[in-house]
Structure 1
Amino acid sequence: MISQKAKYALRALVSLAKAGHGQTMVIGEISQQEAIPKKFLEQILLELKRAGFVTSLRGRSGGYCLLRAPEDIRFGEVLRLIDGPVAPLPCLSLIAYRKCDDCSNETNCEVRHVFMRVAMATRQVLDSTSVADALTGASEID
């Protein structure tokens, strides 16, 4: 299950994508439009800014805007930034592998075999779905 923070981050990115290329939105606008608590949104946008997804502009036409095209922002990379590894078991994580404490043999672990298929399918969907796809309801999955 993804965290509320990750869900809000994705919703904020979608909201910025809806605004259009190079268009800024102030935090209050995003907060109201997406029903995200303003203080929490500030923290999320700062994290997204540090990671190079968004930028902020000061002044009269200031606010936040996407730094990358919506087509280039994948759900998987946002989830990994906010929530960490996208794996149902620690022994299946690509970036934070850890042997399961209760497993004596990963090669023969029936549970691992099933969840490996789940992890692969999940990664495939998340890493092939962009913010632009979310706007259109499209997916690159056949």
Structure 2
Amino acid sequence: MITQKMKYALKALLVLGDEAARGQPEPLTIEEIARRSGTPKRFLEHILLEVRNAGVIASIRGRSGGYVMIRKPSEVSISELLRTIDGPIAPLPCLSRRAYQRCEDCADEAACRIRKVFAELFWSYLVMIDSLTLEDMLRSGVAADQLTGSAQEA
């Protein structure tokens, strides 16, 4: 399950990604991102700082400043973003790629049935989540908008 913080990060990035898709994106203020994404400004400030530190967006100072995408949406991995915002995504510490820890109560990882079952599920999940990018999410929104528009026209 993703956290509310991650949902806010995704909503903000979708706004910035939509802006970037227009060609010459203007920096958006935090107030504008909050308004367009429907996220509380007070949470967004901290979240955007983390995303900026991850090298996905940049902040521009000054009167016409704000936030802009600096990476292409196709280069923004959802799994990396999840790890940046929420931390390790493995269901058990002994399955984590980047934050591996041996389980304290485990005598033999190779024979652990809990690890084996969750490993099979987790690897399937990883194959899917590792292939997902912000661009995929932006495209799914366009497809949803087109379907909604078609349904309303009918």
TM over 0.5: yes
Give the deviation of 1:59 after TM superposition. Answer: 3.4
CA distance in 2, matches of 1:31, 1:80: 22
Q: Would you say the 8 A contact 1:15–1:30 is kept in 2? A: yes
Q: Would you say the 8 A contact 1:90–1:98 is kept in 2? A: yes
- Number of the residue aligned with 1:121: 124
- Listed as ranges, the matches of 1:25-64 within 5 Å are 25-64=28-67
Query: TM-score normalised to the size of structure 2?
Result: 0.82
CA distance in 2, matches of 1:104, 1:117: 20
Give the deviation of 1:15 after TM superposition. Answer: 1.3
- Secondary structure of the 1:64 match is strand
Larger radius of gyration: 2
Tell me whether 57-66 or 36-45 shows the greater mean CA deviation. 57-66
Query: TM-score normalised to the size of structure 1?
Result: 0.89
CA distance in 1, matches of 2:69, 2:111: 45
CA distance in 2, matches of 1:14, 1:122: 22
- Number of the residue aligned with 1:78: 81
Q: Would you say the 8 A contact 1:53–1:67 is kept in 2? A: yes
Superposition RMSD on alpha carbons, in Å?
Answer: 1.6
Deviations 1:50-86 (A, max 9, x none): 1111001233432111010000001011111111111
CA distance in 2, matches of 1:7, 1:115: 25
Q: Which has the higher helix share?
A: 2
Q: Which amino acid aligns with 1:132?
A: E
1:67 aligns with 2:70: yes
CA distance in 2, matches of 1:61, 1:19: 15
Q: Would you say the 8 A contact 1:17–1:66 is kept in 2? A: yes
- Listed as ranges, the matches of 1:130-141 within 5 Å are 130-137=133-140
CA distance in 1, matches of 2:4, 2:14: 15
Consecutive unaligned residues in structure 2, runs of 5 or more: 142-154
Give the deviation of 1:20 after TM superposition. Answer: 2.1
The sequence identity of aligned pairs, in percent, is 46
- Number of the residue aligned with 2:111: 108
